[in-house]
Amino acid sequence: MEYWRQCAVWLIGCNVLPANHRVTADTAQVFDLAQTLRDGVLLCQLLNNLKPHTINLKEINLRPQMSQFLCLKNIRTFLSSCCDVFGMKKSDLFEAFDLFDVRDFGKVSQPLILSFYCCISEEVCIRNMGSSTLLYFMFIAQDKNWKVCSFLCGNKSCPHSF
């Protein structure tokens, strides 16, 4: 299964996308997932699903209707929370325009890789990932030197930490 399709399945498992979303269609392409995420709303909801109250939903516009200003504000809120709450480095993240303009989706997906790893740490939605996917994301998290488990579990000696 292509990586972006695995992301879509995982987003469904985390209750960010409905099970019958268009990104699950056989004819769907990576562009469809990028378009779905480009207003930033679902990304903010994802972080709240992984760790409740990460983002105050009053700070984001839930219906930006593709207004560049509102979409970019939502995306920047997501990016800030990735740094402030999940301990990511700004250099590991994408620029807000990368997502809004749907360019370099590979770079945009890196924070989703972190979310996969955080998901593993919390044992949330793990039922939607096969063992090879799980190992792949753990390897990437280790390669990136992400130490996210202590942020989520509150346990400095957690076996998930690298």
Mean pLDDT value across residues 141-156: 42
Instruction: Kindly report the CATH number assigned to the domain that includes residue 42.
Output: 1.10.418.10
Reported as a single tens digit per residue, the pLDDT across 71-105 is 999 999 999 988 888 777 787 788 899 889 988 77
147 in helix, strand or coil?
A: coil
78 falls within a domain:
yes
160 falls within a domain:
no
pTM comes to 0.71
Q: Domain range holding 145?
A: 3-153
CB 145 within 8 A of CB 118: no
CA–CA distance, 152 with 145 (Å, rounded to integer) = 16
The distance in angstroms from the start CA to the end CA of the chain is 27
80 falls within a domain:
yes
Reported as a single tens digit per residue, the pLDDT across 41-67 is 999 998 888 788 999 989 999 999 989
87 falls within a domain:
yes
Q: How many CB atoms lie within 10 A of CB 110?
A: 16
Tokens for 157, please give them. 């000696």
66, exposed or middle or buried, with CB in 10 Å at 0-12, 13-18, 19+?
A: exposed
pLDDT of residue 145: 46
Mean pLDDT value across residues 119-141: 45
Residue with tokens 């709303």: 41
pLDDT of residue 60: 94
CA angle 10, 109, 51 (to 5 degrees): 55
- On the question of pLDDT at 152 being above 90, the answer is no
Selected residue with higher pLDDT from 139 and 111: 111
> Into how many domains does the chain fold?
1
